[in-house]
Structure 1
Amino acid sequence: MLSKTQGIVINYVKYKESSIIAKIYTKEFGIQSYIENGVRSARAKNKIALFQPLTLLDLVIYHKKGKDIHRIAEIKCNHPFETIPYEIAKSSVAIFVTEILTKTLREETPNEQLFDFVEESILWLDGANKHFECFHIQFLLAMTAYLGFLPETVEEMEEELSLYGYPLTKGAKAGLQLLWGLEYGDAPRIDRHSRNEMVEILLHWYKIHLETFGEIKSLAVLKEILH
């Protein structure tokens, strides 16, 4: 059955000589896998660039309920990136966000509010001219609301974290209180050390609530790149 949907590329793996299997977060069907034959060949109709992480897509897909891997009938990018692939700081943030999405988007069911949040976040990052140093922290914090474990206050987070042996430092607590509920563009300037403490504590928060969350490999690079 042919269906139209929007999609956000999460990642892809090579399959056979010239094909890939792409994992795409779709607005209509949640997280899904799609096989694209011959995309890595020189004569491919659809270029591999369409399957780079976080690419925003318009899709027409063959979707069959209960099937593990689907096929794409039509595909096009609905927002070519202007800055994310070309600025090392933004591309590092994008890699981090992609890894977070890989570990948190598990359901093959639609969640339009979560999809819209992720899409709007990506668009904001691509369009930001400056002061996006806190973007990844705000993204982590805001996404907890869609995943079902947003604390009501910083104090509530602090209390629960302490039960698991993760103390909230003064710098991280002060920074989280500054960012609490703010839109991306409204974030104040926060020093690098406090930002690193905040992201570490938020990742602990995710680990507490998501059993299979694990380690975020891209964090070390992000800490080096964002000043």
Structure 2
Amino acid sequence: MLVTTNAIVLSKIKYRDHDLIVKCYTQKEGIVSYLLRGVLKGAKGSKTAYYQLLSQVQLITDHKSSRGLQYIKEVKINYLYSSLHTNVLKSAIVMFLAEVLSMSLQEEEQNDTLFNYIEATLQWLDTHDQYANFHLLFLLNLSKHLGFYPDTSQIDSPYFNLEDGAFVFRNSSRYHVSEENLSLLKQLLGTNFDALESVKINAKQRHAFLSFILLYFELHLGSFKKPKSLQIFNDVFN
């Protein structure tokens, strides 16, 4: 069955001498892996540039649900980034978020709201110059789409329980945050991307909050592990 869908590239690995296996988050089919035969030797109609991490493409695919690896018949750029793959700092964000998304997104079904969120926020990052805290808000908002966004009904509480995903008045878990991380969490919960510039924190605070939110993902997603690209990411931003 021929399927036309927008897609976001999450990962790619070399297979044999000239092939690639590319994992994408697609608008119509959720997570799908594609086998690209001969793409590394310039097979007709194939360009590796289409499959850079987090590239936004439109695919026409020969989709068969019984097949583990699908095939791409046609591909074209759906949104051409101006800086995401050329700016060193943004490229580090791309590498990091692609790995996080690859571990976090497991569904094999359509979710327009989640797809549109990822698509729109990547375009925001591509076109803005003040983005030091982008990844923090991106991950926090991603938790909403994955089902464990913080419960803000008691947001004035002095603790946040990571296991329950809720603000609490009494610390009853070893997985909790308070003080600086708590203050930043409350600030980001009331912030949109256009207001990120108003969030003033230093590299040490940014690093600490990222560690907290990655632990939050680990506690709520059984398949999630600390990203391998985290060290490189932290080195770039420190």
Specify the TM-score bucket, using the shorter chain as the normaliser: over 0.9
Aligned partner of 1:133 in structure 2 is 132
Whole-angstrom distance in 2 between the partners of 1:46 and 1:17: 15
Whole-angstrom distance in 1 between the partners of 2:179 and 2:158: 15
- 8 A contact 1:12–1:22 mirrored in 2: yes
Q: Is 2:225 the counterpart of 1:214?
A: yes
Whole-angstrom distance in 2 between the partners of 1:8 and 1:226: 25
Whole-angstrom distance in 1 between the partners of 2:159 and 2:115: 25
Question: Could you tell me the TM-score, scaled by structure 1's length?
Answer: 0.93
Aligned partner of 2:190 in structure 1 is 181
Aligned partner of 1:142 in structure 2 is 141
Which residue identity lines up with residue 135 of structure 1 in the other structure?
F
Aligned partner of 2:213 in structure 1 is 202
Which residue identity lines up with residue 174 of structure 1 in the other structure?
S
Whole-angstrom distance in 2 between the partners of 1:157 and 1:35: 47
Unaligned runs of 5+ in 1: none
Aligned partner of residue 100 in structure 1, secondary structure = helix
Query: Quick one: structure 1 residues 7 and 110, their matched pair in 2 at CA, closer, same or farther if it must change by over 3 Å?
Result: same
Which residue identity lines up with residue 182 of structure 1 in the other structure?
T
Aligned partner of 1:166 in structure 2 is 175
Q: What's the CA shift for 1:66? A: 2.9
Aligned partner of 1:66 in structure 2 is 66
Q: What's the CA shift for 1:164? A: 4.9
Aligned partner of 1:78 in structure 2 is 78
Aligned partner of 1:34 in structure 2 is 34
Deviation per CA, 1:37-80: give whole Å up to 9, x if none.
11100454211111111000011111112321111111001112
Aligned partner of 1:25 in structure 2 is 25
Deviation per CA, 1:146-197: give whole Å up to 9, x if none.
0000112255971345655234141111111111132112112222222111
Q: Percent of counterpart pairs with the same letter?
A: 29
Aligned residues: 226
- 8 A contact 1:172–1:195 mirrored in 2: no
- 8 A contact 1:151–1:157 mirrored in 2: no
Whole-angstrom distance in 1 between the partners of 2:108 and 2:159: 29
Which residue identity lines up with residue 21 of structure 2 in the other structure?
I
Which residue identity lines up with residue 13 of structure 1 in the other structure?
I
Question: Could you tell me the TM-score, scaled by structure 2's length?
Answer: 0.89
Query: Quick one: structure 1 residues 70 and 166, their matched pair in 2 at CA, closer, same or farther if it must change by over 3 Å?
Result: same
Whole-angstrom distance in 1 between the partners of 2:46 and 2:68: 22
Query: Quick one: structure 1 residues 6 and 157, their matched pair in 2 at CA, closer, same or farther if it must change by over 3 Å?
Result: farther
Which residue identity lines up with residue 217 of structure 2 in the other structure?
Y
Unaligned runs of 5+ in 2: 164-170
- 8 A contact 1:27–1:115 mirrored in 2: yes
Q: What's the CA shift for 1:87? A: 1.1
Root mean square deviation, CA, Å? 1.8
